[in-house]
Chain A
């Protein structure tokens, strides 16, 4: 199992800046096959629900969302993704994102073997200092090889 540094749980990491742009929103909406005009009209554009995933372009290493654990990527599953939306996100917004390992716990797997659950949390604040969204992911490290 991965080593866990419990002193890092809850500690926020460095900030990443996300400039929200109309063209990027349109590109993302097209990729998820969503023709909703709210994602293309310059005057009333908002970001689609899963658009915050584009922070991956700028965060460098997504492992920074779970800095308390060094995970083995060969035995890693993306278990869950959870979005909480507090304010609309629009072109022109400058979002500051910071991440932390929120929780780490072990469970017995259904077919035997331990599973390590790591909950990472990313907070997004806009240029007015308001929290606009939280994004949480659950990564699961299995004891054996990942079965597909």
Chain B
């Protein structure tokens, strides 16, 4: 975890990589989150809806990106986290989460940073993009 003085605008956030997402990962997230849309775990349902197989919950990828952010800013310091969903994520995909600090400022008596983040598949396509705001300790 970092403090305010140690952060620069433009600084890269250390990446977090999920190697080869599995169907078990999708089932585990369905159970943990309560999102039981069958398109994410039922092969027959997914195919009947015109998909080659099941695909990942957008919020599972958003959860991986959140880890990338909180590893950098600390789990209790996040103030805002916003994600947009682009291309879908499939079993077997390797997902790389990364980001950078875009702004450093003070507001409401807190020392804050804004950043932009993204999750990319092994082809470099954006699955999730987003922004965050965190309040950091230090001067």
A117 to B126, CA, bound (A): 22
- Contact A54:B71 (CB < 8 A) given known A31-B28, A32-B29: no
Mark each residue of chain B from 46 to 65: 1 if its CB lies under 8 Å from any CB of chain A, else 0. 00001100000011101110
Contact between chains at A81 and B67 (CB < 8 Å): no
A78 to B55, CA, bound (A): 14
Q: In chain A, residues 27-60, which have Cβ atoms closer than 8 Å to a Cβ of chain B?
A: 27-28, 30-34, 36, 38-39, 46, 48-50, 53-58
Distance between B75 CB and nearest chain A CB, rounded to angstroms: 4
Distance between B2 CB and nearest chain A CB, rounded to angstroms: 15
Residues of A within 8 A of B (CB): 24, 27-28, 30-34, 36, 38-39, 46, 48-50, 53-58, 77-85, 88, 148
Residue A32 contacts which of B60, B78, B83 (CB distance < 8 angstroms)?
A: B60
Residue B76 contacts which of A24, A28, A83, A88 (CB distance < 8 angstroms)?
A: A88
Contact between chains at A31 and B78 (CB < 8 Å): no
Contact between chains at A33 and B64 (CB < 8 Å): yes
What is the size, in residues, of chain B's interface with A at 8 Å between Cβ atoms? 33
A39 to B71, CA, bound (A): 12
Tell yes or no: B109 within 8 A of A by CB: no
Contact between chains at A38 and B80 (CB < 8 Å): no
Contact between chains at B81 and A83 (CB < 8 Å): yes
Residues of B near A77 (CB, < 8 A) are 85
A27, A28, A55 pick with most chain B CB within 10 angstroms: A28
Q: What residue in chain A is nearest B51 (Cβ atoms)? A: A148
Q: What residue in chain B is nearest A53 (Cβ atoms)? A: B33
A57 to B34, CA, bound (A): 5
Tell yes or no: B31 within 8 A of A by CB: yes
Contact between chains at A54 and B79 (CB < 8 Å): no
A19 to B28, CA, bound (A): 20
A14 to B75, CA, bound (A): 30
Residue A49 contacts which of B18, B50, B60, B66 (CB distance < 8 angstroms)?
A: B66
List, sorted by A's number, 16 A–B pairs whose CB atoms are closer than 8 Å.
A27-B31, A28-B33, A31-B33, A33-B18, A33-B64, A48-B63, A49-B63, A50-B63, A50-B66, A53-B35, A53-B59, A80-B84, A81-B59, A81-B82, A82-B80, A85-B81
